[in-house]
């Protein structure tokens, strides 16, 4: 006889840890299965920090969803012995009239968010780390901030443990199949049965849901931490999270926190990782070169010696929005995927939605725009 649970959660990363905690909180017997460590940096929970940013929301409903996510993060933090969320404000800057600044302005106007428009010089006056070319314009939004993703996973898993959940790390799910009234899940250790399955396998999701092959894709993104010459300019109480559009690229970064140095990353949108098992973890000098060149030009006081580098799997969906749904042909299976643009920020509320869909078959959150067949 296989061990039987009410719900199995496949993948205990950013989204899966939230789902396990939410399900345990509702009194069900939940088993979380994770192939690596809890947490680990070989998936999408790498890089020490994740932004929580309101300036790239597209829909009025996204505002309430993100605010709900923030409430849930705060609630989790109140239960945990380390801080999870910092509010720093957010900066979106680029050549006047180009997409990043225009879209940030539009998001603030349309969704009634507080913001300030700053010139390049105005930005440098307030935050001396910046050196922008002429003609740059900036949107400062005071509610932005960052999360500590690995710490968030730990906090969700600790909460789930307190509520009686079982989580097994270093146990890889090999496959699942529907049963009459449930599912059977086979791992490289054992086999389990449950009434319901939640698939939160991030970049590996298409391996378990054929319909998402080519829909959920991923790319290798590298971050570098550079020692600042003037550390005070990059301190988290004085330096908001940021995105900078250059004539050819989009860069992003965070203040100093959890590791020495300020963080620099680049959104590439290459979707080049065909097999997440075969992706090259070790960052190279070639990975760092464009980040360092960018830092030298736009943050000259931040481009000191390298402190750290990391690569991760940034997940993409065709419209870069969340995917959360039950499988039409197997309603006992729910899936939740957060893309790299915003996936972690929403992970807490995705856990809540997945628990709703799994236990009630519906949710009060407006999620039709995140359905599998929306395309
Ligand atoms: C470089 C980078 C930049 C990002 N930028 C942002 C950003 O700006 N804003 C933002 O909000 N988010 C960002 N994200 C994305 C965010 O981190 C993810 O959306 C978030 O971590 C949620 O991911 P997930 O839970 O879907 O995947 P993961 O956290 O990777 O979790 C999936 C889990 O499933 C496990 N798993 C897979 N296969 C199996 C199996 N066979 N058996 C058992 N377990 C399995 C994996 O090991 C993993 O732990 C970024 C991610 C990266 C990598």
CATH classification of the domain holding 207: 3.50.50.60
CB contact set of 255 (below 8 Å; sequence gap of 6+): 88, 146, 234, 235, 236, 238, 239, 240, 241, 262
pLDDT at 275: 87
311's tokens: 């690569």
Residues 231, 364 within the same domain? no
Asked whether residue 106 is domain-assigned, the answer is yes
Residues 185, 272 within the same domain? no
Confidence band for 342, pLDDT divided at 50, 70 and 90:
confident
Asked whether residue 221 is domain-assigned, the answer is yes
Segment 170-199 mean pLDDT: 97
Q: Of all helices (H) and strands (E), which one includes residue 324? A: strand 323-327
Asked whether residue 133 is domain-assigned, the answer is yes
Please answer whether residues 340 and 227 qualify as being in contact, where contact means their C-beta atoms are separated by less than 8 angstroms: no
For the cut 80, the answer to whether the pLDDT of residue 233 exceeds it is yes
For the cut 90, the answer to whether the pLDDT of residue 1 exceeds it is no
Output phi, psi for 42, to 5 deg. Answer: -90, 0
Domain boundary among 283, 300, 316: 316
Q: What is the total count of domains within the chain?
A: 2
Residues 222, 293 within the same domain? yes
pLDDT at 22: 98
Residue 266, beta-bridge partner list: 251
Report residue 49 CA to chain centroid gap.
Answer: 9
Confidence band for 47, pLDDT divided at 50, 70 and 90:
confident
Asked whether residue 58 is domain-assigned, the answer is no
Confidence band for 139, pLDDT divided at 50, 70 and 90:
very high
For ligand 1, atom 27, name the residue with the nearest CA. Answer: 202
Among 344, 345, 351, 354, the mutation site with the greatest number of ligand 1 atoms within 8 A of its Cβ is 344
Which of the pair, 1 or 138, is modelled with greater confidence? Answer: 138
- Which atom of ligand 1 lies at the shortest distance from residue 347's CA? 22
**Alpha-helix residue ranges (DSSP H) falling in 195-342:** 285-298
Asked whether residue 76 is domain-assigned, the answer is no
Residue showing tokens 């939410």: 22
Segment 17-26 mean pLDDT: 98
Asked whether residue 342 is domain-assigned, the answer is yes
pLDDT at 60: 84
**Alpha-helix residue ranges (DSSP H) falling in 232-364:** 285-298, 343-360
Asked whether residue 234 is domain-assigned, the answer is yes
pLDDT at 375: 57
For ligand 1, atom 6, name the residue with the nearest CA. Answer: 340
Confidence band for 264, pLDDT divided at 50, 70 and 90:
very high
Domain boundary among 274, 290, 316: 316
For the cut 60, the answer to whether the pLDDT of residue 59 exceeds it is yes
Residues 165, 193 within the same domain? yes
Residue 9, beta-bridge partner list: 32, 198
Confidence band for 46, pLDDT divided at 50, 70 and 90:
confident
Report residue 168 CA to chain centroid gap.
Answer: 22
360's tokens: 């009630």
54's tokens: 């309101």
pLDDT at 76: 98
Domain boundary among 316, 343, 359: 316
pLDDT at 42: 86
Confidence band for 271, pLDDT divided at 50, 70 and 90:
low
Q: Of all helices (H) and strands (E), which one includes residue 8? A: strand 3-10
For residue 133, the enclosing domain spans 90-142+217-316
Residues 161, 310 within the same domain? no
Would you call 318 helix, strand, or coil by DSSP? coil
- Residue 362, burial from CB neighbour count under 10 angstroms (0-12, 13-18, 19+): exposed
DSSP assigned state of 225: E
Q: Please indicate whether residue 340, judged by its CB atom, sits closer than 6 Å to ligand 1.
A: yes
- From the list 164, 169, 154, the residue with the least C-alpha distance to 80 is 154
Among 9, 14, 172, the mutation site with the greatest number of ligand 1 atoms within 8 A of its Cβ is 14
Tens of pLDDT, residues 167-180: 999 999 999 999 99
Residues 188, 226 within the same domain? no
pLDDT at 138: 97
- Residue 139, burial from CB neighbour count under 10 angstroms (0-12, 13-18, 19+): buried
CATH classification of the domain holding 270: 3.30.9.10
For the cut 70, the answer to whether the pLDDT of residue 148 exceeds it is yes
Residues 177, 233 within the same domain? no
140's tokens: 């400062």
Residues 186, 239 within the same domain? no
Segment 102-113 mean pLDDT: 94
Alpha-carbon gap, residue 79 to 59, rounded angstroms? 31
CA 193 / ligand 1 centre spacing (Å): 25
Among 15, 38, 43, the mutation site with the greatest number of ligand 1 atoms within 8 A of its Cβ is 43
- Residue 159, burial from CB neighbour count under 10 angstroms (0-12, 13-18, 19+): buried
pLDDT at 340: 84
Residues 34, 156 within the same domain? yes
CA 44 / ligand 1 centre spacing (Å): 3
Specify whether the backbone of 314 is left (phi greater than 0), alpha (psi in -120 to 50) or beta: beta
CA 156 / ligand 1 centre spacing (Å): 15
Would you call 245 helix, strand, or coil by DSSP? strand
For the cut 80, the answer to whether the pLDDT of residue 270 exceeds it is no
Residues 138, 250 within the same domain? yes
Tens of pLDDT, residues 276-301: 988 888 999 999 999 999 999 999 99
Alpha-carbon gap, residue 22 to 26, rounded angstroms? 7
Confidence band for 326, pLDDT divided at 50, 70 and 90:
very high
Cα angle 327-30-158, degrees, rounded to a multiple of 5: 120
Alpha-carbon gap, residue 244 to 231, rounded angstroms? 20
Residues 33, 165 within the same domain? yes
Asked whether residue 222 is domain-assigned, the answer is yes
Residues 312, 164 within the same domain? no
Least confident of 55-59, 157-161, 224-228, 353-357: 55-59
For ligand 1, atom 29, name the residue with the nearest CA. Answer: 13
């Amino acid at each position: 006889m296989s061990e039987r649970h009410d719900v199995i959660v496949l993948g205990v990363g950013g989204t899966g840890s939230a789902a396990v905690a939410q399900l345990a909180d509702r009194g069900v017997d939940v088993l979380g299965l994770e192939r690596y460590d809890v947490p680990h940096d070989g998936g999408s929970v790498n890089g020490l920090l994740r932004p929580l940013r309101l300036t790239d929301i597209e829909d009025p409903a996204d505002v309430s969803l993100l605010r709900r996510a923030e409430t849930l993060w705060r609630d989790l933090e109140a239960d945990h012995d380390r801080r999870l969320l910092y509010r720093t404000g957010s900066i979106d800057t680029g050549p006047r009239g180009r997409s990043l600044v225009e879209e940030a302005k539009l998001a603030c106007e349309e969704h009634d968010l507080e913001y300030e428009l700053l010139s390049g010089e105005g930005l440098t006056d307030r935050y001396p780390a910046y050196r922008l070319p002429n003609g740059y314009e900036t949107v400062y939004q005071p509610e932005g901030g960052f999360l500590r993703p690995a710490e968030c996973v730990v906090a969700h898993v600790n909460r789930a443990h307190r509520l009686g959940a079982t989580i097994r790390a270093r146990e890889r799910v090999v496959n699942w199949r529907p049963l009459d009234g449930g599912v059977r899940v086979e791992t490289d250790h054992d086999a389990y049965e449950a009434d319901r399955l939640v698939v939160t396998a991030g970049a590996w999701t298409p391996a378990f849901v054929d319909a998402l092959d080519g829909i959920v894709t991923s790319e290798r993104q590298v971050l570098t931490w550079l020692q600042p010459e003037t550390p005070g300019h990059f301190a988290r109480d004085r330096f908001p999270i940021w995105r900078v559009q250059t004539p050819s690229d989009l860069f992003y970064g965070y203040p100093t926190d959890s590791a020495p140095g300020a963080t620099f990353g680049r959104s590439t949108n290459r979707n080049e990782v065909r097999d997440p098992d075969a992706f090259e973890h070790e960052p190279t000098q070639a990975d760092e070169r464009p980040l360092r060149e960018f830092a030298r030009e736009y943050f000259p006081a931040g481009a000191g010696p390298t402190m750290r580098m990391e690569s991760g799997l940034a997940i993409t969906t065709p419209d870069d929005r969340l995917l959360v749904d039950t499988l039409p042909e197997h309603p006992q299976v729910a899936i939740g995927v957060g893309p790299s643009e915003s996936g972690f920020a929403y992970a807490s509320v995705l856990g809540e939605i997945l628990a709703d869909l799994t236990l009630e078959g519906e949710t009060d959150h407006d999620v039709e725009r995140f359905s599998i067949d929306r395309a």
